[in-house]
Amino acid sequence: MKYSFLGAALITLSFNALSGESFFAPLDVNSLHDQEIEREVKGEAPRFAIPHDIHFNSLTDKSSWTEVNGKMVWTHRVVAPNSVSLNFGFTKFNLPESAELKIYSSDFSKNMRSFTAMDNNVDRQLWTPVILADDVTIELAVDAKELNLVELELGRVGQGFRTFAQKSAKAGACNVDVACSEGDEWREEIDSVAVISRGGSTFCTGFMVNNTQNDKTPYFMTANHCGITAANAASLVTYWNYQRSTCRGSRANRSNQFNTGSQFLASSARSDFTLVRLNTAPRSEWNVSYAGWDRSGDEASMAVAIHHPATDEKSISFEMDPTTTTMYLKNDIVKNGTHVRVTDWDKGTTEPGSSGSPLFNQDHRVIGQLHGGYASCTSRTSDWYGRISVSWNGDGTPSTRLKDHLDSANRGMRFTDTIR
């Protein structure tokens, strides 16, 4: 599977209810090396942050409320020295019309978009993208007459130790930026792929996927081992267009195009897929596309992977030889195998974080999503992708197969094309 040693934290947490602050001790990368190795052995998704479960309710935190210009304002400061980033899981979230939730670095140098009643959802939760700061202020403003309608409880803080826009090199040098000329014939497919976080701590790759009605229902696919379930699908955050603007140019340093929250639809460990429906569709100005797919089971004459290695900017990899059908991590060809095997990458590779990314055939249609393998910049070895053709019927129930969702009209189509 696509994992590596990431690091961990010396978990120390303190609250100061009187001043409205939470403090987390600095990360100790070396202390949890063995734990990350154990996660790899278990086949668990890699982590970019250490999760801290807390319960801090705005309405019971009376001391942190003040009146400002006719509004009631609540603030809570989160400090985690030397962290790469912070992210927040509000396990209770439901705002009245007058309310506005802001999250910004305490020195005002960084922020994310405000959250309002427009972000209310069926799960009554909100999971934020990362903010690249180690000292952050959470601020809620609401009309006094609607104060009793507020539901806001901070239930988790993700303390980042690796994530977007780190200055040091992360992914291997053989990876190819999607901005390079090699990606020119794959622009529509590139725009379907996102780096994702789940539970504010683990990361993978995934992609928007088309359906037989071409109606832009916000279906999103990734790998089953990335850990999205009915219980935690609300915590999914998808980051769009996280990629360099020029070939081998400066780091993207951008994570402001995101969707938060989803509804679990189906998954199966056999072909390692998960399908969800995002709570909202990506905004039109982000130019996100919906990847076409091919469920025929035919081998690809060549294959292309689009993925986010090690939470790095989006990359593209090429296999110029035909794929084969095997079982997971096996080389022997099996007619009814569960996986597509890429023998070795001719250009580029995959890495931890690439899991769940789509594999396209020569016709620009997805034939599988990355389960795992041994490929790297220093090893020309194989990768395995769970087959769309197997996932189509899955384990025989709507919650374990694709066809009920991607072909709800029962048109019986064997393939679809990418659309915008």
Tell me the catalytic residues.
225, 272, 355
Tokens of 136: 């952050």
Which residue is associated with the tokens 């909202």?
A: 280
Supply the DSSP string of 297-334, one letter for each residue.
-PPPSSEEEEE-GGG-S-EEEEE-SPPEEESTT--S--
Residue 161 DSSP code:
S
Asked whether the beta carbons of 236 and 227 are under 8 A apart, the reply is no
How do strand 273-278 and strand 219-222 relate by DSSP bridges?
Answer: antiparallel
Beta-carbon-side half-sphere exposure of residue 32 (alpha carbons within 13 Å)? 18
Neighbours of 31 (CB within 10 A): 13
The CA-atom distances, in angstroms, between 332 and each of 180, 337, 367 are 35, 9, 19
Determine the residue type at 344: D
Residues in the chain, how many? 420
Rounded distance, CA 418 to CA 171, Å? 28
Quote the strand ranges of 58-110, DSSP E. Answer: 65-68, 71-79, 85-94, 100-105
Neighbours of 301 (CB within 10 A): 12
